[in-house]
Structure 1
Amino acid sequence: MENKKQSIIPYGELGIIALESCRELGEKICTHIANMRLENANDEKIINEKAKTFFISIEEIRFSNGEGKVKISESVRGKDIYILADIGNYSCTYKMFGFTNHKGPDEHFQDIKRVVSAIGGRARKVTVIMPMLYEARQHKRKGRESLDCAIGLQELERLGVEEILTFDVHDPTIQNAIPLSSLVNIYPTYEILKTFLKTEKDVLVDKSKMIVISPDTGAMDRAVYYSSVLGLDVGLFYKRRDHTKVVHGKNPIVEHEYMGRPIENQNILIVDDMIASGESIFDIAVELKKRNAKNIYVSTTFALFTEGAEKFEKFHKEGIINKVYSTNLTYIPKEIKDREWFKEVDMSEFLARIVNQLNYDKSISSLLDATESIQKLLKKINNK
C-alpha cells in the first residue's frame, strides 16, 4: 500500500519557471503535462487552465546601467521547482545606457542564479533544465585556460540546485565537477529519428542505399549508434587541422579525409551535436557530392547558425543539402524555421514526460534509453 501511495503522490506541488529565453518551450511543456494529468482530455480550455497552475510567472528586471534582478510573483514554498533556461537565445534584449543589448550565455546563466536566489531555499527541490549546457565547449583545460563549465556547475550546486537536466553534452565527463549532485545528460535521438523517418518516408526502403556519416572523430560514437539502430553502414570524415594557427578560437581545417565504403548514389545522413557556422558541414557536403552522393540530410541537436542561414539556402538551391533536422531546444529564428530545407524537431512532449516522471519521484531510465523506442518505431514503419 505504501508503494502505491508513493506512485500517485507528487514529490511536491509542481512549479515550472521558464525564463524569457525559454518561455515558449516552457508553456508547451506545461500544456503537455496538463494533458497527461487530465488523462488525455480533449477540452483545450480545461487543459490550458490546468497548465496555468504549473506555470510560475516571474519578472526579469533590468536597470538602465545593465544590472538586473528577478522577482517571483507567487509563493514557491514546498514546491518541486523546474527552472528552464536557453543560454543560447540571442533574441532576448534589454536597454543599457540607451542602446539595445542582446543577452549572451553569461547573462542567461546569471539569470538562472537570480531565480535560485529569489527562491531562497523555500522550495522542496530545485531542478535546472538547461538544454544547452552553459560553457560546455569550455569543459577542459588546454594550457592556461579557464574551466568555465565546471565552475558554473559548482555555482549551481552551492546555491542549492539538486539536479541539472541537459542535452547532448560536448563531453559527458564534465559531471565529475559535481560528483555529489545529479547531472542528467539526455540525447534526443529518438525524437530526431522519428521526425526524420516520418518526413523522409522512403529513405530506408533499401538500406544498402544509405550511409550514416560522422563529420569528425568526436561525433563517431553518435554515428555508430545511429547506424546500429537503423542497420546502416557508417563512414567518417577526418579533419586535418593546422595546429600552428588559431582562428576564432580554433585551429583551421586544412582538409577533410573520408574513411568508409563508396558513397556513389547513396543517401547520406550526417549526424552531429551542433551546427555553429556550418562550415564543416558545407565542406563535407561538397566532398560527398564530389563522390556522387545522392541526397544529403543533416541531423543535429543544436542548430545555432552563428553566421546566418544564407549559405544553407544556397546549398539547398544547388541541390547539395536536402534538409537539416534540428531540435527546438535552443532558439531558432522563425525565418529559418519557415525555410523549405529546415525541419524542427519538437522536444516539448518528451521533456514534459521527463518532468512528470521526476515530479512523481519515478525513474526516467526508460525515457533516456532510446533503443527500444526506435526499434518499435522501425517495426511500425516496416509493417506499413
Structure 2
Amino acid sequence: MSNSQFFDHTNGDLGLIVLESCKELGEKINEHIKEKRKTDETFLLPAQEIRFSNGEGKVKLTDSVRGKDIYILCDVGNHSCTYNMFGLKTFKGPDEHFQDIKRTVSAIRGKAKRITVIMPLLYESRQHRRKGRESLDCALALQELERLGVQEILTFDAHDPNVQNAIPLLSFENLYPTYDIVRTILTEEKNIQINQNSLLVISPDTGAMDRAIYYSSVLGADVGLFYKRRDHSTIVNGKNPIVKHEYMGRDVEDLDVLIVDDMIASGESVLDIAKELKNRKARNVYVATTFAFFTEGLEKFQKYYDDGIISRVYSTNLTYISPELKKAEWFRAVDMSQFISIIINKLNRDKSIAKYMDATYILHELLNNRK
C-alpha cells in the first residue's frame, strides 16, 4: 500500500511551488512534510522565473499541475533576488515579487484543483487603508488574486487583518508566530523569569497594544505602552516624524522587558524605546517581532548591543534574513517552517486549522512544563 493511500487527498495531490524569494523556507517546509508523510518523494514543483534583457519576465512550470492542490510560497520582502535589466544588476522589490505570484497563477492556467497563495509578509500590508487622495494597494492586490482564481490566502501577523474585508468571499487566514517566538526565547534565555514580578511586556505604540496584551496575558506579566508623539505638520519619508516616545505603565526598574511588534523597519522606534527603558533602569531589554527588515542596516543595533541597551532581538524566518544578520550575536531567528508544514498538511487533507489560530493553550502548556 502506497503512502498516499493513508491520506485523504480531498483537495488533490499536494504540490509546492516555491518562488526564489522563499527558497530556503520552502525547502525546509518540504522536508517537514516528507518526514510527516514518511516518504522520500519531494512535493516541490520546479518553477523558472525568467527575465528578459529589458526587464520583462515570465514564469514557466516544467511539471504538470493538473488536478493538484497547489501552494505558492513567496516572500515579497526578500530584497536579495536580482536580475539583469539593460545589463545592470537590478534587485527585485515587493511589486516584482507580487507580479511573479500572478505569473505563477497564470502559468497554472486553471489546471490545478485548488490554488493557495502563502505570503508570510502580506503584500502592501502597510498601505491597508486610505487617508485622502491615495492608493489602496493591499485591498486591490487581494482582489486581483481572487479574480485570477486563487481560492485561499495565508499570511502572518497582517498589519491590519481588517483588510480581508476587501475579499469577503475568499478564504483569508491570518496566522501568528507567538508560540514559536516564546518557545525560542525560553530556549535561548535560560535566566529569564516569566512572572509578574520579573517581566514586563511593552507595546511600542497604540497600534501594537492588542498584541502586547495577548503576550502579557499568556505570560502572566504586566503590560506597558509607549505613545508616539508625532509632528503632524511635517512629512519625512512618507510619514510624520516622531517627536518623543511617552511611556505609560508601571516602574521598570530591575525588570526584564519584552518589546513586541509586528515588524522592525529602520528600528529607530525600537531603539529609542530601549534606550528610554534602560534609562529607567530596566534589567534586560528583549525585542520580539514577526518581520525584521533593518532597512537602515545593522550597525546601530550592534552598537546598542555593545553598549548593553538591548540584550537580544527575536524575529521569524518568514521574510529574508541576510547572512550578516544570521551571524549577529544579538539576533536569533525563529524557524516557522514546521508550523507552516503542519498548516499545509491539514489544509491538503481538508482538515480544520482552527486550533492553530490561537496558541493560548499550548503556550500555557509550554510555560507549565518550564516551571
Q: What TM bracket, shorter-length normalisation?
A: over 0.9
Describe the SS at the equivalent of 2:129: coil
- Indicate whether 1:174 and 2:174 are aligned: no
> Cα 1:305–1:220, aligned 2, differ >3 Å: closer, same or farther?
same
Aligned residue for 2:361? Answer: 372
Deviation at 1:335, TM superposition (A): 1.0
Aligned residues: 367
Which of 296, 306, 323 is matched with 1:307 structurally?
296
- Indicate whether 1:261 and 2:250 are aligned: yes
Describe the SS at the equivalent of 2:50: strand
Hey, what's the Cα distance between the residues in 2 that align with 1:260 and 1:224? 13
CA contact (8 A) 1:81 1:125 kept: yes
Which of 278, 281, 292 is matched with 2:270 structurally?
281
Which of 102, 106, 109 is matched with 2:91 structurally?
102
Deviation at 1:332, TM superposition (A): 1.0
Hey, what's the Cα distance between the residues in 2 that align with 1:234 and 1:207? 10
Aligned residue for 1:293? Answer: 282
Which of 98, 123, 128 is matched with 1:134 structurally?
123
Q: Which amino acid aligns with 2:18?
A: A
Which of 72, 86, 99 is matched with 2:75 structurally?
86
Deviation at 1:196, TM superposition (A): 0.6
> Cα 1:183–1:6, aligned 2, differ >3 Å: closer, same or farther?
farther
Per-residue Cα deviation, 1:200-247 (whole angstroms, up to 9, x for no partner)? 123126540210000000000000000000000000000000000010
Describe the SS at the equivalent of 1:208: coil
> Cα 1:374–1:69, aligned 2, differ >3 Å: closer, same or farther?
same
Per-residue Cα deviation, 1:5-46 (whole angstroms, up to 9, x for no partner)? 9973442100000000001111110100010111xxxxxxxx
CA contact (8 A) 1:7 1:362 kept: no
CA contact (8 A) 2:120 2:155 kept: yes
Describe the SS at the equivalent of 2:78: coil
Q: Which amino acid aligns with 2:33?
A: I
Aligned residue for 1:36? Answer: 36
CA contact (8 A) 1:168 1:187 kept: yes
CA contact (8 A) 2:231 2:243 kept: yes
Hey, what's the Cα distance between the residues in 2 that align with 1:377 and 1:136? 31
Per-residue Cα deviation, 1:292-322 (whole angstroms, up to 9, x for no partner)? 1110000000000000111000000000000
Unaligned runs of 5+ in 1: 39-46
CA contact (8 A) 2:195 2:219 kept: no
Q: Which amino acid aligns with 1:280?
A: S
Unaligned runs of 5+ in 2: none
Hey, what's the Cα distance between the residues in 2 that align with 1:9 and 1:305? 41
TM-score by length of 2: 0.97
Hey, what's the Cα distance between the residues in 2 that align with 1:271 and 1:9? 39
CA contact (8 A) 1:264 1:294 kept: yes
- Indicate whether 1:209 and 2:198 are aligned: yes
Aligned residue for 1:155? Answer: 144
TM-score by length of 1: 0.94
Describe the SS at the equivalent of 1:114: helix
Per-residue Cα deviation, 1:330-359 (whole angstroms, up to 9, x for no partner)? 001011111100000000000000000000
Per-residue Cα deviation, 1:36-82 (whole angstroms, up to 9, x for no partner)? 111xxxxxxxx5x32x2x10001110000000000001100000000
CA contact (8 A) 1:139 1:147 kept: yes
> Cα 1:355–1:266, aligned 2, differ >3 Å: closer, same or farther?
same
- Indicate whether 1:244 and 2:233 are aligned: yes
Aligned residue for 1:227? Answer: 216
Describe the SS at the equivalent of 1:174: helix
Hey, what's the Cα distance between the residues in 2 that align with 1:346 and 1:29? 10
